[in-house]
Amino acid sequence: MKARISFEETSKEFMEVLLKPGVYIRRSGLEPNLIELIDFHVSTINGCAYCLDMHFKDAVARGESEQRLYSVAAWRDCPYYSDKERAALAYAEAVTAGNVEDEVFDALTEFFSKKEIADLTLAVATINTWNRLNRAFRTVPGGYKVGQHA
């Protein structure tokens, strides 16, 4: 596989715009491990090889178990996700699909404030953007080092 466009070939302004939401999300107060789990799951849904490589490595470095990562596509049937994680994963799937039903949104309110739900929504939208760019640009996976884009 050969990349069509590397991010180094884009403009400084392009990268600044792309990176700002991630900086905000990291400072938002949302649990970093939850965001990493969501980033990995959404990247699985979207088939983004680069993001899967990156978020798998970063999640494991943060202490996430490989079992939970390998099983995240079947999170509804696995006992190793908390109710809070389940609500967030269901929401991430719905936002990614573009159809958030009331019961999915309402389930979040047990665990997250309105500000946190807004931040979670931005996190899901941001990983969806990165997935789409990496797929369109054909960013080559495999060479990512933990923390490389921190």
Structural domains in the chain? 31-137 (1.20.1290.10)
- pLDDT at residue 46 in the model: 98
Q: Which residues make Cβ contacts (< 8 Å) with residue 88, sequence separation at least 6?
A: 34, 37, 38, 108, 111, 112, 120
Contact 41, 89 (CB under 8 A): yes
The pLDDT confidence band at residue 149, using thresholds 50, 70 and 90, is confident
Which burial class, exposed, middle or buried, applies to 105 when counting CB atoms under 10 A from its CB (0-12, 13-18, 19+)? middle
CA dihedral 8, 30, 42, 99 (to 10 degrees): -120
Record the tokens describing residue 49, joined without a space.
Answer: 């090889």
CB 71 within 8 A of CB 56: no
What does pTM read for this prediction?
A: 0.95
Q: What is the pLDDT of residues 17-64, one digit of tens each?
A: 999 999 999 999 999 999 999 999 999 999 999 999 999 999 999 999
CB 108 within 8 A of CB 87: yes
Mean pLDDT of the chain: 96
Q: What is the mean pLDDT of residues 78-103?
A: 98
Q: Quick one: pLDDT band at residue 148, thresholds 50, 70, 90?
A: confident
